[in-house]
């Protein structure tokens, strides 16, 4: 039976060859001036090669801003977007630009930033001329201007929607229309109106407190958005117009999630207005403006799959134009079911296309698709930290122009020792390149530490990483030998050996006497313990072990030498951990260094003020970290390379393990 997701759909003036959409994500791949450079072009073209029908570039600013986003505010930028449009069209994909305007006075903030830049330049000249007094004066003035710029920015982010006068709003509206004209000249197929940010703030009862014709009633609050629609329609009558409609949803406890945009009832009513105004497509999405991207792009275990679908379904029932849904639609099967039920017309696979850009191609061929974990570590965290995004499972993100699988020059017999995540990826890559691969694992299952990572609350979805390899490796002809530890004689029968033997829970580096100390790894593997628990080490493993034990009903304390627990955890996950700690009464002792353990009494010192602390627990959990396993290469006469935890001085997280396995196997 043909898949609905691969059937075409008409959106205004453009035909999409299938129902797979890459929704707007801030990638960080653009050049410093907001232009589309080689990295952006390579990333989006890779999505087109993978068969995505509709690719939307997120947060394209129609004015020059301080925000690190794509920009199309000047005709000189048109050729770069033209090159992007041509590249996508060559693969049958359509290009949309999500035009947005930030919710602050861009010229006002920009003027202060430019003044600070000018003053720093003058200060540098004074420094070069050995005029120390002038240098100090100009430097202080530059710092003052910078502080004023960011103070205004912080103020505007909260109040600009109320304080912007009618002329400012008109100027912004016209800048958006001019940007649409440039997009049309560049060969872009559609304009997506960013209904969040400034427009979402204008629509919102939570953020819009105006008393003029743009405030109060639904008609007034949506007036500006409809004016923007009309301005774009007039400026580019032949382009398709999509509207990202942010919906303020309701949490299980009855509180609202999101501030910009509209509550569901109003969103449905507004969708009808948008259709009447000439909008060709609506994307129903979660509203933002909470300060936590996890509210918009939630991590694994936080909300149900397809969590914004109820709103999309209601909007779909109210309008006749196509409706797209986004939000934890992880699998191809889930998207197909949504289409089959008539709940939406187009499926937005955002994080999923980072994980596997070939969803459409593989769907057509019936091949295994690598599925997103919704961990947020490589993507959402990067957006918030102003870094370029990448998926922990995909070694190519952002480097598509320089990193790809290379067919093997000579087919080799390759042994991969260790079926943790690094070994699994190494086996996949080596086999994809044409090598004959045997994967050895001394245990009785693949996955290694992934099974430990999946044990804590909300983390079971990480097992999708193993499921993918269990499906894909047999189809690539990889021979898996479980419960097997090959010796040198056996490995010498291969042309190349990749060692990916992992790590182990390190021993406590301090005196321990007559105490019940257990490994965090043993606990996450299912070992039962009793009584109160003290977890030594507040890294990721320690934090998750504390959550795991608390969920089982133990009284838990966590002891960390530095000033903060879980420093490497996703910023969207940390609020969930802290909420869970509060619910279960988990005590945190930070800046606390354990010196010795005797009779289940923990002796420690506060690293900040050197005061001594004594704590007791029935079970003491060693979560101080891991140490790489040593691979015995003695007697092996063929080349040996290393991947994952065993390859360096520091053990690897999942992203480093995947990339290590990928690059080592790609070099064989």
Question: 521 φ, ψ to 5°?
Answer: -65, -40
Tens-place pLDDT, residues 65-88: 877 789 999 999 999 999 999 999
Tens-place pLDDT, residues 555-580: 999 999 999 999 888 888 999 999 99
How many whole angstroms separate alpha carbon 374 and alpha carbon 124?
Answer: 46
Using pLDDT thresholds of 50, 70 and 90, give the confidence band for residue 2: confident
414-418 mean pLDDT: 98
Q: Retrieve residue 89's tokens.
A: 């069209």
**In Å, how far are 4, 56, 166, 397, 405 from 355, measured between CA atoms?**
22, 17, 44, 8, 16
By mean pLDDT, which of 43-52, 209-218, 397-406, 586-595 is the weakest? 397-406
444-455 mean pLDDT: 96
What was the pLDDT predicted at 1? 54
**Is pTM, for the whole model, over 0.85?**
yes
450-471 mean pLDDT: 96
Q: Which helix (H) or strand (E) holds 263?
A: strand 262-263
41-46 mean pLDDT: 97
Q: SS3 for 272?
A: helix
Using pLDDT thresholds of 50, 70 and 90, give the confidence band for residue 33: confident
Q: Could you tell me whether strands 94-99 and 190-194 are parallel, antiparallel, or unpaired per DSSP bridges?
A: parallel
Q: Could you tell me whether strands 626-628 and 503-505 are parallel, antiparallel, or unpaired per DSSP bridges?
A: antiparallel
Catalytic residue among 94, 173, 197, 233: 197
pLDDT at residue 439 is higher than 60 = yes
What was the pLDDT predicted at 386? 66
Are 649 and 417 a contacting pair, CB within 8 Å?
no
197 is catalytic: yes
Tens-place pLDDT, residues 369-379: 999 999 998 89
For all residues of the chain together, what is the average pLDDT?
Answer: 95
Helix axes 166-185, 78-89, angle to 10 degrees: 50
Tens-place pLDDT, residues 632-647: 999 999 999 999 999 9
What was the pLDDT predicted at 102? 85
pLDDT at residue 649 is higher than 60 = yes
- Token pair 């003029």 is found at 212
Are 562 and 542 a contacting pair, CB within 8 Å?
no
Q: Retrieve residue 15's tokens.
A: 């035909």
Tens-place pLDDT, residues 178-231: 999 999 999 999 999 999 999 999 999 999 999 999 999 999 999 999 999 999
Q: SS3 for 55?
A: strand
How many whole angstroms separate alpha carbon 516 and alpha carbon 28?
Answer: 48
pLDDT at residue 64 is higher than 70 = yes
Query: What residues pair up with 556 in beta bridges, in sequence order?
Result: 533
What was the pLDDT predicted at 538? 95
Tens-place pLDDT, residues 466-491: 999 999 999 999 999 999 999 999 99
What was the pLDDT predicted at 648? 85
Tens-place pLDDT, residues 280-332: 999 999 998 777 788 889 999 999 999 999 999 999 999 999 999 999 999 99
């Amino acid at each position: 039976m043909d898949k609905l997701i691969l059937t075409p759909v008409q959106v205004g003036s453009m035909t999409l060859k299938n129902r797979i959409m890459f929704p707007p994500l801030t990638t960080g791949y653009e050049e410093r001036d907001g232009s589309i450079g080689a990295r952006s072009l390579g990333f989006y073209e890779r999505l087109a090669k993978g068969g995505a029908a509709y690719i939307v570039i997120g947060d394209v600013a129609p004015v020059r801003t301080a925000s690190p986003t794509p920009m199309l505010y000047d005709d000189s930028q048109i050729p770069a977007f033209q090159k992007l449009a041509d590249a996508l069209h060559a693969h049958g994909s359509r290009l949309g630009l999500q035009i947005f305007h930030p919710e602050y006075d861009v010229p006002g903030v920009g003027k202060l930033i430019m003044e600070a830049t000018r003053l720093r330049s003058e200060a540098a000249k004074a420094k070069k001329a050995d005029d120390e007094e002038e240098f100090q004066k100009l430097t202080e003035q530059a710092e003052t201007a910078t502080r004023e710029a960011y103070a205004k920015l912080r103020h505007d982010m909260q109040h600009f929607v109320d304080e912007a006068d009618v002329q400012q709003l008109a100027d912004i509206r016209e800048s958006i229309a001019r940007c649409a004209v440039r997009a049309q000249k560049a060969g872009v197929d559609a304009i997506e109106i960013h209904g969040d940010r400034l427009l979402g703030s204008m629509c919102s009862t939570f953020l819009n407190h105006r008393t003029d014709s743009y405030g109060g009633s639904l008609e007034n609050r949506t007036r500006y958005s409809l004016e923007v629609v009309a301005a774009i329609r007039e400026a580019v009558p032949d382009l398709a117009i999509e509207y990202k409609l942010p919906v303020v949803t309701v949490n299980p406890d009855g509180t609202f999630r999101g501030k910009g945009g509209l509550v569901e009832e109003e969103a449905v009513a507004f969708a009808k207005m948008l259709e009447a105004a000439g909008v060709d497509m609506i994307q129903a999405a979660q509203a933002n403006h909470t300060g936590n991207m996890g509210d918009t792009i939630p991590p694994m275990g936080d909300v149900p799959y397809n969590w914004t679908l109820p709103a999309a379904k209601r909007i779909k029932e109210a309008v006749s134009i196509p409706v797209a849904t986004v939000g934890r639609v992880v699998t191809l099967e889930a998207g197909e079911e949504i289409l089959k039920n008539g709940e939406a017309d187009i499926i937005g696979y955002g994080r999923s296309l980072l994980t596997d850009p070939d969803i459409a191609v593989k769907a057509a061929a019936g091949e295994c698709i690598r599925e997103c974990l919704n961990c947020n570590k490589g993507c959402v965290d990067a957006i918030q930290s102003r870094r370029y995004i990448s998926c922990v499972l995909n070694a190519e993100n952002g480097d598509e122009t320089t990193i790809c699988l290379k067919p093997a020059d000579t087919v080799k017999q390759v042994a991969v020792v260790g079926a943790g995540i690094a070994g699994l990826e190494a086996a996949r890559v080596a086999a994809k390149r044409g090598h004959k691969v045997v994967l050895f694992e001394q245990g009785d299952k693949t996955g290694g530490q992934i099974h430990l990572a999946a044990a804590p609350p909300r983390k079971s979805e990480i097992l999708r990483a193993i499921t993918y390899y269990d499906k894909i490796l047999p189809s690539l002809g990889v021979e898996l030998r479980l419960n097997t530890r090959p010796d040198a004689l056996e490995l010498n029968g291969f042309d190349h050996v990749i060692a990916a033997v992992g790590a182990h829970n390190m021993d406590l580096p301090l005196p321990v006497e007559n105490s019940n100390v257990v490994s965090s790894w043993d606990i996450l593997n299912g070992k039962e313990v009793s009584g109160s628990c003290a977890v030594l080490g507040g890294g990721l493993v320690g934090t998750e072990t504390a959550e795991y034990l608390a969920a089982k009903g133990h009284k838990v304390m966590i002891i960390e030498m530095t000033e903060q627990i879980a420093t490497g955890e996703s910023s969207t996950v940390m609020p969930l951990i802290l909420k869970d700690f509060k619910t279960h009464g988990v005590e945190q002792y930070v800046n606390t260094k354990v010196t010795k353990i005797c009779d289940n009494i923990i002796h420690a010192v506060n690293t900040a003020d050197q005061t001594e602390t004594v704590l007791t627990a029935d079970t003491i959990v060693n979560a101080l970290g891991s140490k790489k396993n040593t691979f015995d290469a003695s007697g092996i006469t063929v080349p040996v390379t290393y991947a994952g935890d065993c390859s360096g001085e520091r053990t690897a997280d999942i992203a480093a393990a995947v990339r290590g396995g990928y690059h080592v196997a790609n070099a064989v």
